Amino acid sequence: MSPALSSLPAHVDSRSLVSSLLGDNPYFQAGFGLMGVGVGLSVFRQAMIFSTVALRRRMLVSLEISNKDPAYDWFLAWMAHRTANANTGSAAAPWLRSHQLSVQTSHEQRKNGSSNALFKLVAGPGTHWMRFRKAWIQVKRERETRSQQLMSGIPWETVTLTTLSRDRNVFSELLREARDMAVVAQEGKLVIQIPWGLEWKPFGLPRRKRPLKSVVLAEGASERIEEDVKAFLRRRQWYVDRGIPYRRGYLLHGPPGSGKSSFIQALAGSLSYDLCLLNLSERGLADDKLIHLLSNTPERSFVLIEDVDAAFNKRVQTSEDGYQSSVTFSGFLNALDGVASGEERVIFLTTNHPERLDPALVRPGRVDLSVLLDDATPEQARRLFVRFYGGGGEDGAWEHIDPQTIEKMGREVEEVVKREMKLGKRVSMAALQGMFIRSTTAEAVQGIRTLFMPK
């Protein structure tokens, strides 16, 4: 101890010493002391921040999901499902107590044809907490309203999940559960997709698959198209080995109401394929965008372009209101089989007037199989009648009639169609189906003559 300090009286405590040193020190009063204290506190603050960040990085793990990723929609649907369960008193959904909620509206289609709107509450933009597999997870949903996706105009969104590092495995389990729930929701159903900007997006809810045999075509037509599509799907390696572009085009032509679109929809469902609808008259659709869409079609999907004759009549595309699209005929041909066109693609074209189509469009390589789906034949009318009225014990049937009587009445319908066709008249399958839906067997047999029109 220094002589100066040792000479201090014993009753002077350390607090008085510090006070005298700091309070009477001219350098401290000049600001150097306060600056030193400030620097010390700043260093301490930075050390605490660094320690907190390091501790957070070591103990926490985060998972970011953007709305560009398919898992984003899966996760939101999974959240909505858990919310619905919470409303019924089963699994808990802690974000229901949040003040930041979003609503998801879906339409439920019943078997009897009626529908109902369902509203599900999910966590909106903000910070929420949830518990999954005994692990607490922070759910932070952020929406960037100042910047939007270029083509679709949808705001950028992200969902960030944060949990303890020891519980990082729950992320994989959560995503698997969300994916499996999405797969189950689409199982046995047909997904319709439409262009949304430069991407394909599902349109509405998945629909129940229509049985292929429910679309009654002329004898052998359905089997011919189905076998050709199946053969193409089986021969991918054959195309690759020979350097042939792996794509195929179909043209279904015939009068309105002959079942062209219905058959394509049923065929896609029977093969568990999605159906991508493309309207060439859509505003904003240009050659480059068309090539991009056809080159990036979703896996296991058919592309359907309806009424292609109306889109390109005399090589000019004009909509009903006089608007001329920016898609050119040459651009459409290049999108089908040009250098920049995609592969692993099946395209269906439909038209009511094949004679209006340019020969450059229907040549092999662009249209590989052309099939006529004409007005109802006598045999078609009989099969459609038997299908509608057979099995009279089903719920909602007009009447119960034994199979033998149904077959007999079906032959009567067949004879009526034969006689009318000899007189130069025609009837569409859509007209027959409309009558069979609203009529009893006797009314159908008697009233079928009123449906015929001159050719």
pLDDT class of 112 with cuts at 50, 70, 90: very low
Tally Cβ neighbours within 10 Å of residue 54: 10
Handedness of CA 83, 84, 88, 90 (dihedral sign): negative
Residue 276 pLDDT > 90, yes or no? Answer: yes
The confidence score (pLDDT) of residue 4 equals 46
Helices and strands of the chain, counted as H and E runs: 16, 17
User: In which region does residue 281 sit, left (phi positive, over 0), alpha (psi from -120 to 50) or beta (all else)?
Assistant: alpha
The confidence score (pLDDT) of residue 98 equals 63
Token code pair at residue 173: 């389990």
Question: What's the pTM value of the predicted model, to 2 decimals?
Answer: 0.71
CATH number, domain 207-372? 3.40.50.300
Distance CA 107, CA 204 (A): 8
The confidence score (pLDDT) of residue 7 equals 47
Distance CA 64, CA 175 (A): 12
Distance CA 426, CA 421 (A): 6
Residue that wins the pLDDT comparison between 86 and 266: 266
The confidence score (pLDDT) of residue 430 equals 93
Residue 234 pLDDT > 90, yes or no? Answer: yes
Query: 433 and 444 in contact (C-beta within 8 Å)?
Result: no
* Type of residue found at 422: K
The DSSP annotation for 349-382 comes to EEES-GGGS-TTTSSTTT-SEEEE--SPPHHHHH
Q: Of 27-41, 48-62, 396-410, where does mean pLDDT reach its minimum?
A: 27-41
Partners of 352 in beta bridges: none
Residue that wins the pLDDT comparison between 130 and 95: 130
Residue 103 pLDDT > 50, yes or no? Answer: yes
In the predicted model, what is the mean pLDDT of residues 302-319?
A: 73
Token code pair at residue 71: 């898992």
Residue 12 pLDDT > 50, yes or no? Answer: no
Query: 209 and 271 in contact (C-beta within 8 Å)?
Result: no
Distance CA 404, CA 391 (A): 11
35-90 confidence digits (pLDDT tens): 666 666 777 677 676 666 655 566 788 899 988 888 888 888 887 777 656 555 44
The confidence score (pLDDT) of residue 273 equals 93
Q: What is the largest CA-CA distance in the chain?
A: 137
pLDDT class of 2 with cuts at 50, 70, 90: very low
The confidence score (pLDDT) of residue 142 equals 87
Distance CA 348, CA 368 (A): 10
pLDDT class of 108 with cuts at 50, 70, 90: low
Mean of pLDDT over the chain: 80
Alpha helices (H) along 191-274: 221-234, 236-241, 260-270
Token code pair at residue 258: 């002959």
pLDDT > 70 in the chain, percent: 73
Residue that wins the pLDDT comparison between 344 and 314: 344
Distance CA 196, CA 145 (A): 19
Most confident of 19-28, 228-237, 400-409: 228-237
Q: Of 105-119, 277-291, 327-341, 427-441, where does mean pLDDT reach its minimum?
A: 105-119
Listed in order, the ranges of the chain carrying CATH 3.40.50.300 are 207-372
Q: What is the Cα Rg of the chain in Å?
A: 35
The confidence score (pLDDT) of residue 147 equals 59
